[in-house]
Amino acid sequence: MAPAAAPQITNITLRGLQTGAVTTLGIEGSDLLPNPRLLLAVPIASQALKGTATASRIDIEVKLPPSISSGIYPLRLANKNGISNAVLIGIDDLPQLPFAPRLVKLPAAVHGNLPSSDTLKTSFSGRKAQRIVLDLEARRLGAAIDPVVELYDSRRVPVAYSQGHSILAGDARLEAILPADGKYTVEVHDILYRGGQPNHFRLKVGELHYADRVFPIGGQRGTETAVELIGLIPPAARQVRVDLHGALADIAVSLPPIHGLTGTAPRIVVDDVSEVMEVEPPAGKLQEVTVPAVINGRIGKPGEEDRYRLLVKPGMKLRFDVVASGAGSPLDGVLFLRNDSGAQLATSDDRPNTIDPGLDFTVPSGVTSLVVALTDLLGRGGNDYIYRLAIIPADRPDFSLAMFEDRQLIPAGGTAVLRIRANRAGYDGPIKLSLPELPEGVAAVANEIPAGATDTLLSLNAPSGMTPSQFMTRIIGASDDPKKPIQRLAMLPVTPLTELQPWLRSELAVAVTESGPVHIAWEGSAAPLPIGNRHPVQVKVARGTGISGPIRLSLLTTQIVPKTEDGKQEDVKRALRLDGTAMIAADKGSGEAPILVPADLAAGTYDLAIRAELLSADAKSVLATAVTPSRRLQAHRPFTLQLAGPSVIETKSGSGLTGKLRGKVKRASGFTGPVTVTLAGLPAGLSAPTAMVPGDKTDFELSVAFPDDTKLSALLKIKLSATSQIGPQQLLKADEVPVTLQFVQGGSPSPSVR
């Protein structure tokens, strides 16, 4: 009997929820029962099924507290069998209604689907001089349409028009002052009348307020920051205080709830360095800033150039990074770096994929101050021409974390394995991983990326008998340096949908389910991986009562597999993998998972786990899967080189006494292959000397001499290397040993004997 499948959402009747009120959502999909409940990353005051529920359709009443910030959120459905995919919804304090030909009461958010070649129309009654905002969410909710919104009066005269704005991720929004009392028509269509799928949208209509920008753009972590909202906001609501204690730098921090605000509120960028606000300096002076620091300012009027005097130290390697357009500012910045006399030292305009400038600069010897200047390329300015100029050490240690799946199912008594990757930038120490929302009983194993490593297989283990539960969490990585702490969130890869909504990339949905029909255990100790050899692993499997069927085994690893020569795909022959198709027969409870360790695998630590797939009797379909907790194994070379004499030798070009490198080939147990010792890194045109060490020997002596016409520097630093051919395209290598050749001129060659 196959386990029940996790729920899957295919459609939602409304793509929004109202705060402080009840909204009824119709959810369509598969395996929605039994006992479904909605999951959000924000609190849900109450939820209850309404009417008749089936496995493919439920209606659920949802009440949200009024204290939730407006914005776009992922919504999931959970039951005892798991947790669903995420669908995006908008949350604000507007009534949520299906799209209809007439809107009886404003404000409202109406929901519908836009046929690719059609135009949808709705209408409302308006008053003369009434300010109306039409804000359409489609691309922000994952739809594949390029929306246009048009507003007409009762005579069919156009009042306002809007197509997609970059600051709205391609969605449309218009604002209009109505010219007269009467009926107004809203039309929605795709700009080319050929929108794709999905085609859902959410249109908000009324005297709405919105904020697209915030000033300052950022704040220092561990502080409380006052910010000004920039947009269509009542004056009394423009000043907001934001708590940045515990904030992480990977994603900007959301604002506290603001009543009456629609759409996603701007977020606050966070850093660890001091934040400086632009001030008006005394006449003839420049505002002084000690670096590292972040400067928050605005180009307040056309033609303005903001200048700051930076207090620096000679030799500092600094990175200048401007955020303006990336935060919704209309500023097209140009950055200048000058000395105190006004001479230009460096400049920057656009960078790849952004019109925001930035550059790296090393402070020259004897220089203790610089002048940095910023202006708009087109000489524009105004209240919303805001910027954030970060001046930080270019070599500041850092890292980022990536995860590759957004949900995990853990069977009670079993394991889920999630790969986490570190992209290091100057920090090579260990990275400790934590999941702050893990429920009691669920344990995280292999929750550290070792020093120098890039990946780990994070194992989440649930104890036997644990009651099914579902929760949302995040994965936080922390450095081990208390003097310079670094904390980063594991983030999903960027997609067009999340590029402007990065907070959607940080959530991990986890469900503990009932015990699965198959379990697998890795037997024995964690023996090292022999590079270039076969490593047998014994596994034990257990099937549930009444369950039968063969089991197919496969390997999960943290190895980053090299690409084929064309760079288009992974080179399977160079991957850690199982030898052939490893199977456990239907009547067996144990078997072997023989791991092939490629000959060119880099020595070091790797995380591995064995996955079991329970197959149908005909072995054509997978009924269930299970995985072992990951193990961290050391990959070691079957032989190493060790010098028995000095690493610096005198070698002659010509006749005379020849210099020699002497040493040993240290063999691991079981390795008896012949080893070739040679020199690597010699200049082109020189043949490398070689010495063969038979399988039953360890000592070697490598004679080093070159022709008399060899022209080389007095000292040449190269490498002593050793290889062993164990099969076609299977070459084992030892770690290379640095050596130095000291060249002296030898005698002339002996005359040829005729």
For residue 683, what pLDDT band results from cuts at 50, 70 and 90? confident
pLDDT digits over 649-668, tens only? 888 776 656 789 999 999 98
pLDDT score for 754: 40
CA-based nearest residue to 383, from 327, 303, 324, 329: 329
Give the domain 399-500 fold.
Immunoglobulin-like (2.60.40)
- Whether 209 has a pLDDT exceeding 80, the answer reads yes
CA-based nearest residue to 386, from 195, 229, 263, 259: 229
Q: What are phi and psi of 380, to 5 degrees?
A: -90, 175
Averaged pLDDT, 436-441? 88
User: For residues 323 and 79, what is the distance between their CA atoms, to the nearest angstrom?
Assistant: 43
479 CB-side CA count, 13 A: 19
pLDDT digits over 143-184, tens only? 999 999 999 999 999 999 999 998 898 999 999 999 999 999
| 715 against 341, higher pLDDT | 341
- Whether 518 has a pLDDT exceeding 80, the answer reads yes
- C-beta of residue 431 within 8 angstroms of C-beta of residue 479: yes
CA-based nearest residue to 153, from 176, 172, 136: 176
User: For residues 168 and 164, what is the distance between their CA atoms, to the nearest angstrom?
Assistant: 7
User: For residues 627 and 619, what is the distance between their CA atoms, to the nearest angstrom?
Assistant: 19
User: For residues 689 and 403, what is the distance between their CA atoms, to the nearest angstrom?
Assistant: 48
For residue 749, what pLDDT band results from cuts at 50, 70 and 90? low
User: For residues 226 and 539, what is the distance between their CA atoms, to the nearest angstrom?
Assistant: 58
Q: Architecture of 115-208 per CATH?
A: Sandwich (2.60)
- Choose the most confident range, by mean pLDDT, from 249-258, 391-400, 493-502: 391-400
Coil, strand or helix at 132: strand
- Whether 712 has a pLDDT exceeding 70, the answer reads no
Query: Are 115-208 and 518-636 equal in CATH topology?
Result: no
User: For residues 434 and 33, what is the distance between their CA atoms, to the nearest angstrom?
Assistant: 32
Q: Which of 2-6, 79-83, 140-144, 288-292 shows the lowest mean pLDDT across its residues?
A: 2-6
For residue 753, what pLDDT band results from cuts at 50, 70 and 90? very low
**What CA–CA distances, in Å, run from 680 to 207, 641, 718?**
74, 14, 6
pLDDT score for 714: 67
- Whether 476 has a pLDDT exceeding 60, the answer reads yes
Share of the chain above pLDDT 70, in %: 97
For residue 498, what pLDDT band results from cuts at 50, 70 and 90? confident
Give the domain 518-636 fold.
Immunoglobulin-like (2.60.40)
User: For residues 661 and 648, what is the distance between their CA atoms, to the nearest angstrom?
Assistant: 9
pLDDT digits over 602-637, tens only? 989 999 999 999 999 888 999 999 999 999 999 999
- CB neighbour class for 711 (10 Å; exposed up to 12, middle 13-18, buried from 19): exposed
Domain 639-745 maps to which CATH number in 3.10.150.10, 3.40.1190.20, 1.10.1050.10, 2.60.40.1930?
2.60.40.1930
- C-beta of residue 199 within 8 angstroms of C-beta of residue 217: no
- Whether 678 has a pLDDT exceeding 90, the answer reads yes
pLDDT score for 226: 92
Would strands 476-478 and 518-522 be described as parallel, antiparallel, or unpaired? unpaired
**pTM (two decimals):** 0.87
Tokens 């144990």 locate to 590
| 12 against 728, higher pLDDT | 12
Average confidence score pLDDT of the chain = 92
User: For residues 364 and 358, what is the distance between their CA atoms, to the nearest angstrom?
Assistant: 19
pLDDT score for 158: 97
Coil, strand or helix at 538: strand
- Whether 93 has a pLDDT exceeding 60, the answer reads yes
Find out whether the peptide bond into 198 is cis, omega within 30 degrees of 0. Answer: yes
For the record, the structure tokens of 577 come out as: 């993998």
- C-beta of residue 72 within 8 angstroms of C-beta of residue 139: no
pLDDT score for 655: 63
- Whether 261 has a pLDDT exceeding 90, the answer reads no
Q: Angle CA(506)–CA(507)–CA(510) in degrees, nearest 5?
A: 145
What is the domain class of 275-393 according to CATH? mainly beta
- Supply the Cα-derived Rg of the chain in whole angstroms: 33
Q: Which of 91-95, 244-248, 288-292, 624-628 shows the lowest mean pLDDT across its residues?
A: 244-248
Residue spans per domain, the chain = 8-92, 115-208, 212-268, 275-393, 399-500, 518-636, 639-745
pLDDT score for 624: 93
User: For residues 301 and 384, what is the distance between their CA atoms, to the nearest angstrom?
Assistant: 10
CATH superfamily placement of domain 8-92? Immunoglobulins (2.60.40.10)
